[in-house]
């Protein structure tokens, strides 16, 4: 068994946070060792927890169809996208009904290992919380509007496509009118290879 397959099996069988969550964790794993794009967000939503497929929710519709303008076939093709998150499991709701923050132990336990094993061309980091983990001392807005570098590879930072993030999008109109078009063109070049 390859090191990649070993890590994949360990992630899929992880139940480290069961006591913390109060329900059975359901790790989501999507990708292969030679996926072209490694995409990292915060954590799966409850819809993703139920479907066992990343971005099968409102955020996913915005990301795939409005921002990337690609089909499900392209997005879920594991030779194209390795889809991960700071936490592989849906973390549940807090007392206010919002999704809980991903447990830091998941990031520490898995993401660093995963990134060493995927032979990708670029990274896409989604949301301010994920961006802060990889670029702790950088301004989020600056990260979004420029091309960055992580592990010597092109890295794109996106705001979260959640409907709860509409204010950020509205306050930064050049994201939709200019930046996302640049990002879309980068993705098209990578996906056509």
Q: Using CB atoms within 10 Å of the CB of residue 13, give its burial: 0 to 12 exposed, 13 to 18 middle, 19+ buried.
A: exposed
Query: Nearest to residue 86, comparing CAs of 64, 101, 66, 65?
Result: 101
Are residues 156 and 188 in contact, defined by beta-carbon separation less than 8 angstroms?
no
The sheet with strand 37-41 has its strands ordered as 81-85, 37-41, 122-126, 153-158, 148-150
| Euclidean distance between CA atoms 193 and 122, whole angstroms | 13
Range list of H helices, the chain: 3-12, 18-21, 46-51, 58-61, 72-75, 104-106, 112-117, 128-134, 140-144, 166-171, 174, 180-192
pTM > 0.75: yes or no: yes
Q: How much is the pLDDT for 49?
A: 78
Q: How much is the pLDDT for 38?
A: 98
pLDDT averages per 10-residue partition of the chain, 193 residues: 92 84 86 97 84 91 98 97 93 82 84 92 97 96 98 97 93 98 97 85
Domain 3-192 sits in CATH 3.30.870.10: no
Q: How far is CA 20 from the centre of its chain?
A: 22
171-185: pLDDT as tens digits: 999 999 999 999 999
Are residues 24 and 16 in contact, defined by beta-carbon separation less than 8 angstroms?
no
Q: How much is the pLDDT for 134?
A: 95
Are residues 40 and 126 in contact, defined by beta-carbon separation less than 8 angstroms?
yes
Q: How much is the pLDDT for 18?
A: 78
| Euclidean distance between CA atoms 127 and 63, whole angstroms | 12
Q: Please name the residues in contact with 172: beta carbons below 8 A apart, sequence gap of 6 or more.
A: 141, 144, 159
Q: How much is the pLDDT for 155?
A: 98
* Torsion sign across C-alpha atoms 114, 41, 20, 24: negative
Domain residue spans in the chain? 3-192
């Amino acid at each position: 068994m390859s090191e990649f397959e070993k890590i994949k099996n360990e992630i899929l069988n992880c139940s480290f946070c069961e006591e913390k969550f109060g329900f059975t964790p359901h790790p989501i794993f999507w990708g292969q060792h030679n996926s072209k794009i490694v995409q990292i967000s915060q954590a799966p939503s409850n819809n993703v927890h139920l479907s066992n497929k990343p971005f099968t929710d409102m955020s996913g519709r915005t990301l795939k169809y409005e921002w990337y303008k690609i089909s499900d076939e392209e997005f879920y093709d594991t030779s194209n996208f390795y889809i991960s998150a700071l936490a592989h499991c849906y973390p549940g709701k807090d007392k206010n009904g919002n999704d809980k923050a991903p447990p830091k132990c998941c990031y520490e336990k898995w993401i660093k290992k995963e990134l060493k094993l995927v032979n990708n061309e670029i990274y896409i980091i989604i949301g301010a919380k994920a961006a802060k983990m990889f670029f702790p001392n950088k301004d989020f807005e600056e990260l979004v509007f420029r091309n960055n570098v992580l592990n010597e590879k092109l890295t794109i930072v996106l705001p979260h496509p959640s409907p709860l993030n509409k204010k950020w999008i509205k306050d930064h109109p050049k994201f939709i009118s200019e930046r996302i078009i640049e990002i879309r063109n980068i993705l098209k070049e990578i996906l056509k290879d």
